[in-house]
Chain A
């Protein structure tokens, strides 16, 4: 579970929840509504993927995702949310800015969040000293 105690991951989930709640309540947040979710989507999804690999497959907290794993997630999300769903549903629309945000999210995850869990890492993320 340590994988998911990452500040970036928690922040991403919170942002997603707030945007989602605001939308449901009928007060969609301006600008943020459309784009912030796309920006946090890949880091959140990739973190869950990393957690899954660490806990069930590799069983090691030092494990990090391969570059192609991240590329795959970005491509897969773009395929589903920007290409397939817009064909079948009116709620989803395709947008090149979305795609760009997914790619930026993927790069951010790979460079910043895809790190082995070590004691020092936990400490620097304020997890141990909480």
Chain B
């Protein structure tokens, strides 16, 4: 048996079962019980998928020295990995604020 607890659903406020899984949903409204955790998990999954897909931003060559190799691997994961979502978010926010600033001026 899984350890099920009763907790209050954050979206409808009714008591529901919670087994501690990231995708636990409310039996009453179907909302995720831990939207914060679910959201961070969704971000991670997208980042992971992208990291595998775009792994070859800098191609690794057999002639590369160990330092060169590490640097390339580092930039590969930096450029298309973790910061991808955040950079997109940052660029969107900047564009938005620029527009707001122009209208409000």
In the complex, chain A residues 35-94 whose Cβ is within 8 Å of any chain B Cβ: 37, 41, 45, 48-49, 52-53, 56-58, 60, 62-66, 69, 72-73, 76-77, 80-81, 85, 89, 91
- B: number of interface residues (CB 8 Å): 29
Is A116 in the interface zone, CB < 8 Å from B?
A: yes
Known: A20-B103, A115-B11. Is A57-B93 also a contact (CB below 8 A)?
A: no
Check if B31 sits within 8 Å of A58, measured CB to CB: no
Give the complex CA separation of A82 and B63 in angstroms.
52
Check if A118 sits within 8 Å of B31, measured CB to CB: yes
Check if A91 sits within 8 Å of B39, measured CB to CB: no
Residues of A within 8 A of B (CB): 20, 37, 41, 45, 48-49, 52-53, 56-58, 60, 62-66, 69, 72-73, 76-77, 80-81, 85, 89, 91, 115-116, 118-121
Pairs across A and B, CB under 8 Å, 10 listed: A37-B104, A45-B93, A45-B100, A52-B89, A57-B89, A58-B42, A63-B42, A65-B39, A115-B35, A120-B28
